[in-house]
Amino acid sequence: MSQEVASLGLYDFETVIEKTASLVKEQSLEECRTVLEEALNTSSRKASEFSNQREVAVLRDRLVACYLMLSATGKQNQRTKEDLQKLILEQMSLLDSQYGSNARLQQLQGWKEIFGERYESALRCFEQVPSSSKGLLSSIGTAIAKFYKGEVQDSLDSFSSIVRRWRRCELAWLGIAHCYLEKGDQRKAQMALSKTIEFAKQKSTGVSSVFCYEAQVAIAYIAFGQGTKEGVEAGLSILKELYRDNTNDAQNDPRVVNRLADYLFYRKEYKRASSLLCKLNLMQTKFPHAKGESLFQLARLAHVSGELAEAENFYTQALLEDSNSLPQARLALANLYLSREDFQAAADCLERVLTQRQECLEAKATLGIILTLFEMKNVATLIGQEGKLTKYELRRSRRERAISLLTEVVDATTTPDISTLICLAYLLEENKPERACSLLEDSIRLFDDQANIIIARSSPSVKIRLQNNIASLFARIGRYSEAEKILSTALRSYIDLSVDSLEENVFLQHLQQSNEIPILLLYNLALVWEFEGKVALARNLYSHIISCYGEYPDALFRLGHLSYVNEDFAAAKEFYERGAKFKPRLASHLLATLARSQGDYHKYQSLLEQALQSRQFDETRESLDDDYSYVRLCNFYIDCLQVVDEKRQQKFMDKCLELLQRVLSHYPYNAFAANAFGIYISLREMYSDAREIFHGLVGTPAAEMAKLNLAHIQVQLARNLQHAARERQTVRNAAADTALSSAIKLYEDSLLQARSEETRCEMMLYLSLANFQKANFSEACSLLTRLLHRMPMYLPLWFNWALTLEECGLRRIKEVGEKQEIVSASESANSMNGVNNARKATAEFGRAYRVFQALSRRKLSADGEGIVRQTHSSRLADAHHTFAKAKRATSNVLLANAEKEYMEQMERFQERRRKLQEKLAQEEKERLEQEQRRKEELAALEERELKFQESLRQKEEQKRTATEQETMSRKRKRKGLKEQLNETSDASEPEETSPTQMQVIEEIFGD
C-alpha cells in the first residue's frame, strides 16, 4: 500500500482506481495487488466507504486482471503460481455468483485460459463475448489463442483487423511480427517490429516499454539468424544496449544473457560469461527453453573448466528442462562421457541426438568411432538395436552401422577428421583394402594440416604407424613397389637412406647404427621384399630382427616358411618350434602343414588337436573357441573318408558333425564352417540342402570354394536326374542339362581364377567330367587331350580319354544313319559328312582300342566307373578293349559301305549334272536365237519409221510450196485489177458499183 493512501486513512474508490492505473503503467504489479487487496478488505469491513456494490465488482475485476498480469510475468515459483491460480478462481467465482456471467467475466476467463495454455477453451470464452461488447482485449486474446493453437494465418488476419481499427496498438503489431516470423518472412516481421518500437516509444508507459523491449530482442534474433558477420554484430549491439539499460529486465532475461554468454564463450572469456549467467534467476523465468539453454551454457563453462561432475549435473538439468530443442547439450554430454571413457553412455546420448537431428555429422562421426572402438575391443554391448540378438549378430550389425555412419560423414565433408578416416579404414581393410588404402593416404595428407583431440601430432610414432598400415595393405593387395616406397619414407625418420641404401650390406650397416626403429616397419619391409622375390634380403632382415629385438614370433614363422618353400623341413620345424613359445596355436598349425607335406598324417591330426587345446583367454572376452582349428580338423576327417573302412567313415562323419555344430552354434556366420557343413550333408546325399548352403555362401570369404562345391553338387544332381530319366525311359532331361550347364559355367570360372598348375589341371578334369555327363564328348576329349600333355604319367587320365574317344565314336556311328538317295548338292555334302564321321569314328575306336589294350596289361587295384579321378581295374580295361575292337570293326564296315554308297551317289550326281549342263546349253542357244530375231525385227521397225517420217516431210513441203504459189498468183491478179481500176478511174467518172460487184471483189482480193 502506498504512503499517500495510508496517510489519508481511508480508501476512496476514485483514488484507488487512479493509483492502481498508475502502478500498472509503472509495472509495479505487486504494489498494485496490495492496494487492491487492501481496498477489498476495507470494503468488506466498512461498506460505507464505497457507494455501491458495483464499485466492489470493479475492484475485483481489477484484482483479477492484476493476478493475470502477475502470472504472465513468469517470475514466480511453482507454488506461487498455484496460489495465484487459486486466487484468480476465487475472485472470478465471487464475480460470477454476485453478478452472473457477463462480457467482462468472459474476457477474464479467456485470458486465464491463455495463461494456463488451454487455447481451445480460451477461444470458446472469447467467442461467447457479445459482438457489441468485444473490445481490444478480447480481440487480442482471440488472435493470441489462435497463434498458440497453430492457426498462424488466422491469427495474422485477426491481428491485421486489430491494427486497422486501433492503429497504434503495439501489442497487435508485435503479434503480427511473431506471425511473420513463424511463416519465415523476416522482412515483414522486421517492419512490424519497427512499428511496435515506434508506437511503444510514443506512449512511454511501463507496458509499452515491455513491448518495445520484446521487439528489440526479436530484431536481435533476426539479425543473428542471417548468419553473416554484420548480422551477428548488429544483434550483439542491440543485446548489449538492452543489457546496459537498467530500466528493463534484460539482466535477468535468459534470452539476452544466453546470447551474450555464447559470444563470450567463443571468445574464450569464460569468467565474464560465467558471471553473466550466475546473475540469472532461473527459478523465476517465463522462458523454459531459454532456461534450458542457460543451464547448457553453465554446463559448457564447467566442462571447459574441468569440473566434469558439475558439468554433467548442468547438462542433465538442461535436458530435463528442454530435451527436444537442445541436441547440442546431449552431444556435449556424450563428449563428456567420452572423456571419462564411458563409451556406452556416450553412444546412448549420440543415438538420441541422431533421433532428433538425423543430419548431425558430428554425432554420426563420434558414434561411428565409438562403434569402431567396440569392434576393436569386441565389447558385448547393445547400441541402437531392438530385440534379442546373438553376440555375433550384434557384432555384425554394429560393424555395418559403423561403416554406414563413417562413410556418410566422409562423403559429406571435404576435409573429414583424421580419426574418422582411420576408423573407416580399419573397418574396410578386410573386404575393401583398396578403399582402406585411399582413406589412410588421405589421413596422412591431412595429418600435418588438421588439429585433432584424439591423435596427438606431438608423437611422431602416430604418423609412422599410419604409414606402416598403408604399406601393409599395399603388400596385401600386391602393390609391392608402393609399399616399399612408403616404408622407405618412414625409415628416413630414423636413418639416412639414399638411392643406393637399400643394398643388402649398406642397409644392414645403417640398421646397426640405429636401435630405435619400430619393429613393425622392419618386419613389413622384409615381408614386402619376400613377396617381391628378394628372398635373400628378406631372410637377412628377418634374422636381423630376431638378433636385435629378440625372439620375434612373426619373423620366426616367416623364416620357417622360407625354409619350408626350399624343402628344408628340418630348419622350418626348428623355426616353428621356437615361435611356439609365443604363439602355440599358430605354431601348431604350421607344424601340422609341415607334417602333411611329409606325409605324416597321424602327426598332422595330433597337431591339429593340440592347436584346439591351446585356447586363449582375455579379461574382456569369453574363452575363444578356435574355429579355424575346428574347421581344419573337420576338413581332415572329410579327406580321410575316401581311404578308411566303413566303420571309421561313420566315426569320422560323427566327429565332423560334432565339430561343425560347436562352431556354428556360437557363430552361425562362419563361412568356412558352413562350407564344410555343406560338404558333410552332401556326403549324406542331401544334395538339395547342400546346394542351398553353397548358394548362400556367394559373396563370403569362402565363395571360391563354395562355387566349386556347388558345381560338384550340380553334377551329382544331374547324374541322379539322368538315372531317373533312364528308369522312366525318357530320352532327354531338361533339368539335368540345366544343372550341368550351371556346373560347366562354375568350373570355367574356377579355371580362370586358378593360380597353380595343379589347380588348373584339377579344374580341367572336373570340367571334362561335366561335359562328359552332358554328352559334350568332343569338348571333354579336347580337355583330356590338353591334360595328357600336362600329366602323361597319370594312368586314369588315359583310361578316361579312351572312354571319351569310345563315346565320341559311338555318337559318330549314330550320325551316319541309313542310306539315302542323293537328290541335291546339299545332301551330297551331308553324305560326305557321314563318310567323314565314319572315318573319325574308325580312328577314335582305333585309338581307344590301343589305349585299352595297353591299360589291360597293367595290374591296377581300384575300380572306377565313367570319367572319374579314381584308378580303374584291368578287367574293366579288357572289357572296353574288346568293345572298342568290335566297334572299330563295325565302323570299318560302315566306312566301307558309306564310301561305296558315296561313290555311287557321286556318279549319279555327275550324270545328272552333265544332263543338266546340256539342257542349260540348249536353252542358252535358243535364248540367243530369240534375241537375234528380236534385234532384226527392231531394225526393220526403225527403218519403216524413218520412211514414214520422210514421206510426211515431203507432203508438208509440197503443201507449203502450193500455198506459196497460190498466194503469189493472187497477189499478181490483185495488182492487175488495181491497175485496171486506176486506168478506168482516170478515163471516166466512176460508176456506182453494185453490192454484188463489191462482194465479188472482196472475195477475190480479200482484205
- Tell me the average pLDDT of the chain: 75
Tens digits of per-residue pLDDT, 277-320?
777 666 556 666 677 778 888 888 888 888 888 888 888 888 87
Give the residue extent of every domain in the chain: 456-550
pLDDT band at 996 (very low <50, low <70, confident <90, very high): low
Interval 848-876 mean pLDDT: 52
Specify the 3-state DSSP secondary structure of 445. helix
Interval 800-826 mean pLDDT: 62
- CA distances (Å), origin 702, targets 297, 586, 671, 678: 55, 21, 6, 12
* pLDDT of residue 398 exceeding 70: yes
628 Cβ contact partners less than 8 Å away, ≥ 6 residues apart: 589, 672
784 Cβ contact partners less than 8 Å away, ≥ 6 residues apart: 768, 797, 800, 801, 804
Tens digits of per-residue pLDDT, 534-575?
888 888 888 888 887 777 888 899 999 999 888 888 898 999
The residue that leads in pLDDT, 385 or 571, is: 571
Interval 670-690 mean pLDDT: 87
Range with the lowest mean pLDDT among 65-74, 355-364, 612-621, 820-829? 820-829
Distance CA 425, CA 917 (A): 83
- Reading phi first (left if > 0) and then psi (alpha if -120 to 50, else beta), residue 552 is in beta
Q: Which residue has the cell 599395399?
A: 474
User: Three cell numbers at 746?
Assistant: 562354375
- CA distances (Å), origin 129, targets 64, 157, 420: 18, 19, 64
Q: How many Cβ atoms sit within 10 Å of the Cβ of residue 92?
A: 18
Distance, C-alpha 940 to centroid of its chain: 90
Strand segments (E) across 436-538: none
pLDDT band at 993 (very low <50, low <70, confident <90, very high): very low
pLDDT band at 595 (very low <50, low <70, confident <90, very high): confident
Interval 765-771 mean pLDDT: 87
pLDDT band at 8 (very low <50, low <70, confident <90, very high): very low
Tens digits of per-residue pLDDT, 914-936?
888 898 999 999 999 999 999 99
DSSP letter at 872? -
Can you give the pLDDT at residue 63? 67
Nearest to 183 by CA among 221, 147, 209: 147
Tens digits of per-residue pLDDT, 126-160?
777 766 656 677 777 788 888 888 888 888 888 88
Distance CA 67, CA 71 (A): 6
User: Three cell numbers at 134?
Assistant: 468485444
CB 691 within 8 A of CB 738: no
Can you give the pLDDT at residue 93? 63
Nearest to 420 by CA among 385, 452, 396: 452
Range with the lowest mean pLDDT among 5-19, 283-297, 700-714, 746-760? 5-19
CA dihedral 509, 514, 520, 526 (to 10 degrees): 0
Range with the lowest mean pLDDT among 391-405, 494-508, 608-622, 950-964? 494-508
Distance CA 593, CA 582 (A): 19
The residue that leads in pLDDT, 902 or 997, is: 902
Range with the lowest mean pLDDT among 150-159, 281-290, 409-418, 707-716? 281-290
**What is the DSSP track for 180-200?**
HHHHT-HHHHHHHHHHHHHHH
Range with the lowest mean pLDDT among 28-32, 593-597, 886-890? 886-890
* pLDDT of residue 261 exceeding 60: yes
CB 405 within 8 A of CB 423: no
CB 182 within 8 A of CB 152: yes
- Reading phi first (left if > 0) and then psi (alpha if -120 to 50, else beta), residue 699 is in left
Tens digits of per-residue pLDDT, 40-90?
666 665 544 444 566 666 666 666 666 666 655 555 555 555 565 666 666
Interval 166-175 mean pLDDT: 81
Distance CA 298, CA 315 (A): 8
Tens digits of per-residue pLDDT, 199-216?
877 776 656 777 787 788
Can you give the pLDDT at residue 633? 85
Burial zone of 532 (CB within 10 Å; 0-12 exposed, 13-18 middle, 19+ buried): middle
pLDDT band at 725 (very low <50, low <70, confident <90, very high): confident
pLDDT band at 860 (very low <50, low <70, confident <90, very high): very low
Interval 456-473 mean pLDDT: 71
pLDDT band at 868 (very low <50, low <70, confident <90, very high): very low
Residue 498 amino acid letter = S
Residue 757 amino acid letter = E
Q: How many CA atoms lie within 13 A of 603 on its CB side?
A: 12
Distance CA 2, CA 971 (A): 155
Can you give the pLDDT at residue 460? 55
Interval 477-482 mean pLDDT: 85
Can you give the pLDDT at residue 282? 61
Task: Give exposure, 991-1000, as e/b (b: 16+ Cβ within 10 Å).
Answer: eeeeeeeeee
Specify the 3-state DSSP secondary structure of 701. coil
Distance CA 686, CA 297 (A): 68
Nearest to 704 by CA among 631, 632, 762, 753: 753
Q: Which residues pair with 621 in a beta bridge?
A: 618
Range with the lowest mean pLDDT among 233-242, 400-409, 594-603, 982-991? 982-991
Distance CA 145, CA 107 (A): 12
Can you give the pLDDT at residue 886? 65
Distance CA 229, CA 234 (A): 9
pLDDT band at 872 (very low <50, low <70, confident <90, very high): very low
Distance CA 11, CA 8 (A): 8
* pLDDT of residue 464 exceeding 60: yes
Distance CA 181, CA 348 (A): 35
Provide the percentage of residues in the chain whose pLDDT is more than 70: 70
Nearest to 62 by CA among 92, 106, 98: 92
User: Three cell numbers at 421?
Assistant: 578416416
Nearest to 24 by CA among 62, 56, 79: 62
